[in-house]
Amino acid sequence: MTVIEPTLTLEREILAEYDLIIALDEVGRGALAGPVSVGAAVMDAAGARRRIPEGLRDSKLITEKRRPEMAERAAAWVQASAIGWATASEVDEVGIMRSLGLAASRAIDAVVAQGASIAGALVILDGNHDYVSRVHPVPLQVRSVIKGDRDCASVSAASVIAKVERDALMADLHDSHTAYRWDRNKGYASPDHRAAIRDFGLTPHHRASWAITDAPPALF
């Protein structure tokens, strides 16, 4: 299979018109347990002239063993980065799309706290749906980019940074709920996870509003 390497082509086009890019990508959207997270990576015109870290890809295309080191290099490459979270209980309360918006809004606020300015910035996010504009209290300029995590290096950086942090959180939660094997499945619908739900029921970290016991296995 040919692996498409991300580029900075779109970022450089955008930065001819905007002062800053805040790239977003989500992790954990389809999980049965744990939070959903959104990574944010900030890039300016000077950053877009820097060499892309070798091996940077959409997090799904990087082996689990290599992701932590890649996340460190990605975070060092961009001007700022952060992760926003929405809990399983928030997913139950407001639904997955608004929870993605909450997580994205929190990630944006975190990079703003590091010095990024929303004024003159364009938010780009992976996918075909803008889930953040209606949630964030400050008006945003947002562009959804299909396959952004594959094609845009800044979104790839946000992807791997968020993936590593969420995987680490799920591994920590595993220590208190070992039957569910979150150290391996990261909260997704693996057969061992669904079997543990049938045997032991739901934990406070599960998205109880979802039809969990009938959920099909997911790729992660």
Q: Report the run of H or E that residue 51 belongs to, with start and end.
A: none
Instruction: Return the percentage of the chain with pLDDT > 70, whole number.
Output: 95
- Dump pLDDT digits (tens) for 90-138: 999 999 999 999 999 999 999 999 999 999 999 999 999 999 999 999 9
Distance between CA atoms of residues 15 and 121, nearest Å = 9
At residue 218, the 3 state secondary structure works out as coil
Q: Are 108 and 125 in contact (CB under 8 A)?
A: no
Q: Where are the domains of the chain?
A: 9-167
Output the six-digit token pair for 35.
């939070």
pLDDT at 212: 72
How does DSSP assign 3-31, residue by residue?
Answer: PPPPBSHHHHHHTTT-SEEEEEEEE-TT-
- pLDDT at site 217: 54
- Indicate the residue type of 64: E
Q: What is the pLDDT of residues 127-166, one digit of tens each?
A: 999 999 999 999 999 999 999 999 999 999 999 999 999 9
Pairing of strands 20-27, 121-126: parallel
List Cβ neighbours of 70 (8 Å cut-off, separation of 6 or more): 53, 55, 56, 62, 160
Which of 32, 38, 64 is closest to 211 using CA atoms? 32
Q: Across all residues in the chain, what is the average pLDDT?
A: 93
- Predicted pLDDT of residue 60: 87
To the question of domain 9-167 being in CATH 3.30.420.10, the answer is yes
